[in-house]
Amino acid sequence: MILSVSRRTDIPGYYSDWFYNRIREGFACVRNPMNPHQISKINLSPEVVDCIVFWTKNPAGMLERLEELQAYPYYFQFTLTGYGGDVEPGLPDKRGAVIPTFQRLSEKIGRQRVIWRYDPVFLNERYTCAYHQTAFARIADSLAGYTQRAVISFGDMYAKMRRNAAGLQLRSPSAEEMRSLARAFAASARECEMTVESCAESIDLADVGVRHGHCIDRELIERLTGCRLTGGKDKSQRAECGCLESVDIGTYNTCGNGCKYCYANYSEESVRRGRNAYDVNAPLLCGSVGAADKITERKVKSLCNPQMDFLTVNRKSDSFI
């Protein structure tokens, strides 16, 4: 099983103590977003968790306890964009706090295990193509030597995003703008010895230096684990997504970053209620088990085939041996 922590909320940023408690106790409970009275109990033992993929914009609270994860292969998808507080109001100063956190994390676990995400890319009068090109180049320069891969995506305006971003007049880039931005991003990345991949995009950008990527990356996880994986494509994601199947333990409407483009937060009031329900010792993230709830042990297993081991990896460095 690949553990996703989490597409639904920033667990490293806001709930890392809860997550470390879950690792110590060996399980977590997850409420079904489509049927809230159904709760799955997920085994988190190293025997079934092949790799943990963290999604975050500020994992500073995790850094001093990473040794508690030594039994698990893991890596970080670390989002760092050029937006200001009008779009990402809950984040600390990027130059003074977030970029140094990225650098410290890379120094601790190796640059191949910290993947930089510059996404999603939206445009408006302030955040023009030229703005994004400059912001990407400056961030890339700050991260040179601390990562080898940048992931980009171009935003789609879902109904919830339009509501949350009312007043900002954000829009999705056109196909021509996507190609122009991708070409500029790839050029800046090359200067910093990085490659650029796209996330869940139907447009083919290979000719401008950006290949289709996989955020939950079979190839990377096989290198980290030293064995071939038997899992398939994650069917719960969009058709354009190439991620390996995973189990997510997050909860919607709990992220404090407040990003105006977020699909996982429905409203400020929903987030307030969700965060008020947080109990660091509870098996559920931001919730409790009620009388009408039914808990079922989810059947999970390792995807590793030990008969197909093909390499080993030094997990304390960024080099594979």
Let me know if residue 278 belongs to a domain.
yes
Q: Tens digits of per-residue pLDDT, 19-55?
A: 999 999 999 999 999 999 999 999 999 999 999 999 9
Q: Tens digits of per-residue pLDDT, 57-98?
A: 999 999 999 999 999 999 999 999 999 999 999 999 999 999
Let me know if residue 270 belongs to a domain.
yes
Let me know if residue 317 belongs to a domain.
no
Let me know if residue 172 belongs to a domain.
yes
pTM, 2 dp: 0.94
Longest dimension (CA), the chain: 58
Let me know if residue 247 belongs to a domain.
yes
Q: Which domain holds residue 72?
A: 2-308
Let me know if residue 200 belongs to a domain.
yes
Give CB contacts under 8 A, 24+ apart, made by 263-269: 263/158, 263/160, 263/161, 264/7, 264/8, 264/9, 265/160, 265/164, 266/160, 267/163, 267/164
Domains held by the chain: number: 1
Let me know if residue 318 belongs to a domain.
no
Residue identified by tokens 């706090």 is: 97
Q: Tens digits of per-residue pLDDT, 136-192?
A: 999 999 999 999 999 999 998 777 778 888 889 999 999 999 999 999 999 999 999
Q: Is the pLDDT assigned to residue 311 strictly greater than 60?
A: no
Q: For residues 153 and 8, what is the distance between their CA atoms, to the nearest angstrom?
A: 17
**What does the pLDDT read at residue 307?**
64
Let me know if residue 221 belongs to a domain.
yes
Beta strand 210-212 with 294-297 is unpaired
Q: For residues 139 and 146, what is the distance between their CA atoms, to the nearest angstrom?
A: 11
